Amino acid sequence: MYVWITLLAGLALLLALLKTFSTYFFQDCVYMYRALGFGIRLNVYKRKTPFYSIVDCFLEAVKKHPRKAFIHFEGKTYSYEEVDKESNKVANALRSEAGLREGDSVALFLGNEPRFVWTWLGLAKLGCPAALLNFNIRSKSLLHCFSCCGAKVLIAAAELRDAVEEILPTLKEKGITVYLLSDERTTDGIQCIGQAIAKASDTPLSPSLRSNIHIRTTALYIYTSGTTGLPKAAYVTHERVWASSFIQGVCGVTSEDIFYINLPLYHSAGFLIGLVGSIERGNTVVLRRKFSASQFWDDCRKYNITVMQYIGETLRYLCNMPKVKAHMVYNTAHTEVTFNPSRIRVTNCNPLRNLREEIFRPGVTVSQICLEALWDSATTKTQTRRLSDVFVKGDLYFNSGDLLRIDKDKFVYFHDRVGDTFRWKGENVATTEVADILTMVDCIEEANVYGVKVEGHEGRIGMAAVKLKEGRGFDCINTCSVLANYLPVYARPRFIRIQNSLEVTGTFKMKKVKLVEEGFDPTLIRDPLYFLDLTQKKYIPLSQEIHKSILSQEIKL
C-alpha cells in the first residue's frame, strides 16, 4: 500500500516539477509524437514505387471530394475539381505550345492568385520543376534568377508585362521563351498563351509523363532574399516538399480547417507550408494577394478561418490596429474567430548552437551541414559561409548570418542580421547590392547603405549615406527612378544622407555603426537628409514635420 502511495506521490511531484520548470513539456510530447508519425510516412514514400508525389496526393483529394472548396479568392470559390481541370488545361497547352517535357525548368513570375496554383500544378503534372520568382524584383536581380535555375521558359502575369519587357532583349539572347497569361499580344517576343489555355483540353494527363520523377528529383527552385548579394536559388527536392507539407499536420491542422494564406507564394512559408500543406491535409485555402491588417479580421469572419500562418511582423501589425467594437450577428453561421498561435520548433540538421549563454543575450547561429545537401555552381560564394573546426576538429558548419536570442521558456527569436544585411518588411536586404545600384545614379560617386530602427516597426528600414560627384547636386527624381528599375520597394533606401566624404576603416571598409546610431533625425544631423516619397516618386527634403509624421505613423512606411 505504502509503495503505491509513494509511487503516486512521486509521479505527482514529477508532473508538478515538469509543469513548473518545463512549461511546454506535454505539448512537446504531443508534437514529437505527431512528427514521428509523419516521419514514418515520409520513409514509406521514399520506398514507394512508382513515386508518390504531392500531385498524386492532390489527385486523390480531387477523387475524394471533387466539389469541396479548395480556394477562396476575392469573392470567388474554386473547388478541387475546378482547379484540377484548370491545371490540366495549362499542362496540355504548355505541352503543345511550348513543347515542355519532363525535367524542363519553367520560371513563374506571378502574384498571389488562383492562376499561380493551377499553373504550378500543370507544370508538376508534366514533371517540370518550377522556379518561383519574387514579383517585386526587377532588372539585374530578375535576370540573375534565370542563371540559377536554367529555365528556358518564363510564364508571367499580364500585370507584370513592364518588368518582363525591361529584360526582354537579354531573355531573347539567352533563348528564353516568354509566355504572358493574357489574350492580347502587344510586344514582339512575348507570346500570349491565355487563349491557348482557354481552348485546351481539360482531360487528365497520363502519369507516364512524369514517370522518371523520384524522391530526390528537384521539384522547385525557391529564391533567397539576396542577403549576400543577388537572390540565390534553393533546390527543393520532392523529399523537402513532403517534409514541409507535413508541418500543418504536426501542428494539428485537419481537413476540416480553413487555412489563411496572405504570405507570398514565391516564399517557402506561403507555398510549401501553406499551399502544399493544405493539399496534403485536403483542407480549404483562403488566398490573398498580400497581407492587409485592416482586412484581416473581416476575412476571418467572412470565411470562418480557423488557421492562420504568420511571420513575426504580421502579428505586430494586427496588434497595432485600432480596437473596434465587435458586433454579434444572429441567425447566421459562426462569426467567432479563434486566435490560437501554435508553438512550433524550428528543426534543422542539428540543434541550434551558440545559444547557451544567459537568457536574452543574442548569439549567432550556425548549423551543421548535412552530407545530403545540394550545392549549386556558386562554390566560391558557398565557401565563404562555411565554418570548419568550430566545436570539434574536422566539423563543418554553415553560418546562417542570423542573430537570435532565447528567453526563459526556451523560445528562440530572430533579433537581427549580422554583417552587411538588414531585414525590412519580412525581407532580407543586401546593403552591397543596394549600394551598387545607387552608384549607377549619375550624381552619386559613393554610397554606404545600412538599416536604421523606426519606432513601432519590426526590423530596420533602408538608409544610405552618399557622396555626390564633384559639381553635381542630388537628383531627387532620377535617383528614385534608377532604384525603382532595379530594386523591389522594400530594398529601396527610404532615407538619403548627403555627406562630403564617407568614413572608412583602415582596410577601406565603410563605417556604419555611428551612422546607424544617429538614424534619420533631422534635429541631430546637420547633413542634408531626404525621404523617399513613393506617391510623388521622388526624394523630398526630410523636414522635422515629416520626421514627426513618420514616428507617429501618419506617414506609412
- Which range, of 89-98, 232-241, 421-430, averages the lowest pLDDT? 421-430
CA distance 522 to 528: 8
Average pLDDT over residues 316-332: 58
The alpha carbon dihedral of 269, 274, 277, 279 has a sign of: negative
- Which range, of 30-39, 274-283, 346-355, averages the lowest pLDDT? 346-355
Q: CATH 3.30.300.30 region(s) of the chain?
A: 421-551
More confident residue, 94 or 29: 94
pLDDT single digits (tens) 80-121: 999 999 999 999 999 999 999 999 999 999 999 999 999 999
Q: What is the pLDDT of residue 312?
A: 61
Please determine, for residue 553, whether its predicted confidence score (pLDDT) is greater than 70.
yes
Please determine, for residue 270, whether its predicted confidence score (pLDDT) is greater than 80.
yes
- Which range, of 18-32, 183-197, 317-331, averages the lowest pLDDT? 317-331
Q: What is the pLDDT of residue 398?
A: 76
Confidence band for 352, pLDDT divided at 50, 70 and 90:
very low
HEC letters along 152-171:
CEEEEEHHHHHHHHHHHHHH
Reported in sequence order, the residue ranges of 82-200 that DSSP labels E, i.e. its strands, are: 106-109, 130-132, 153-157, 177-181, 190-192
Contact status, residue 421 vs residue 227, Cβ threshold 8 Å: yes
Q: What is the pLDDT of residue 206?
A: 95
Q: What is the pLDDT of residue 402?
A: 72
Q: What is the pLDDT of residue 339?
A: 37
Please determine, for residue 302, whether its predicted confidence score (pLDDT) is greater than 90.
yes
pLDDT single digits (tens) 436-477: 899 999 999 999 999 999 988 888 999 999 999 989 999 999
Average per-residue pLDDT for the chain:
84
Q: CATH 3.40.50.12780 region(s) of the chain?
A: 54-319
Q: What is the pLDDT of residue 187?
A: 84
* Nearest to 311, CA basis, from 331, 328, 325, 291: 291
Average pLDDT over residues 131-157: 90
For 439, half-sphere exposure in the C-beta direction (CA atoms, 13 angstrom radius) is: 11
Please determine, for residue 8, whether its predicted confidence score (pLDDT) is greater than 90.
no
Please determine, for residue 506, whether its predicted confidence score (pLDDT) is greater than 60.
no
Confidence band for 400, pLDDT divided at 50, 70 and 90:
confident
Average pLDDT over residues 159-167: 93
Q: Using CB atoms within 10 Å of the CB of residue 42, give its burial: 0 to 12 exposed, 13 to 18 middle, 19+ buried.
A: middle
Percent of the chain with pLDDT over 90: 56
Confidence band for 4, pLDDT divided at 50, 70 and 90:
confident
Please determine, for residue 308, whether its predicted confidence score (pLDDT) is greater than 80.
yes
Q: What is the pTM assigned to this prediction? A: 0.75
- Which range, of 340-344, 427-431, 485-489, averages the lowest pLDDT? 340-344
CATH of domain 54-319: 3.40.50.12780
Confidence band for 133, pLDDT divided at 50, 70 and 90:
very high
Please determine, for residue 189, whether its predicted confidence score (pLDDT) is greater than 70.
yes
CA distances for 15 relative to 10, 24, 31, 409, 410, angstroms: 9, 12, 18, 17, 19
Determine how β-strand 190-192 pairs with β-strand 177-181.
Answer: parallel
CA distance 23 to 16: 10
The class that CATH gives domain 421-551 is: alpha beta
Please determine, for residue 313, whether its predicted confidence score (pLDDT) is greater than 60.
yes
Q: What is the pLDDT of residue 449?
A: 93
Confidence band for 381, pLDDT divided at 50, 70 and 90:
low
Average pLDDT over residues 50-70: 97
Q: What is the pLDDT of residue 89?
A: 98
